[in-house]
Structure 1
Amino acid sequence: MVVTALALLVHSMAAYALARMHFRGRGIAFAAVIATLLISLPVILVPLFLVVRTLGMVDTYAGLIVPGVFNAFGIFLLRQFYLGVPRELEDAAQLDGCGHGAPTGTWCCR
């Protein structure tokens, strides 16, 4: 349950940035996310264990949670969802006084 909650938080923020925000290298970043989908789990299993062992997270909850949080498939699915949401909803929110918060990039209503 912790992995699901953290993954939803991380994936939704990354997907929103890739779908709605304009920044240099957005296409390259999305291509890198998609490229990681081409690598199967058995290929990265041993290097992932070596990283977990180097960070001292073997036999801990963090060693189970942290590697499971970052998944390109969740970012891809949420990005496709955000692309399906009409931009007019964001425009209506801006008319109501909402906007991107300066430090976090989230929507905040005044």
Structure 2
Amino acid sequence: MKAVLKVAGMATALAVTFGIGFVSASAKPAEATTTTPPSCLKYIDLSEQFIGLAAEGLGYASDGFTSIGNRDLYGADKANDKINALAPKVDRLATPLQSAKQDCKGGK
């Protein structure tokens, strides 16, 4: 169950840390006057990978909650194992993602 909460926490941390959120419908896109720096392209790529892992983890968490609701402890345990298997992948992405974010913000 701790792993289910960990994935939910990762998704929340992702939204807060990386500024992923809702954008006003009245917001106007910035005019593109230059090409996107390679560091920002790397940041986008790593962010997409991270979001994919978070989505996968939330799917497993959903499966776990459904299993718990059905009193299926074996199913909940399997979902928990799948979430735990994602943790090393998330950990491997965390440092490069933060580095790419800083490089992108710094204009490198």
Higher strand share: 1
TM-score normalised by structure 1 residue count: 0.29
TM-score normalised by structure 2 residue count: 0.29
Higher helix share: 2
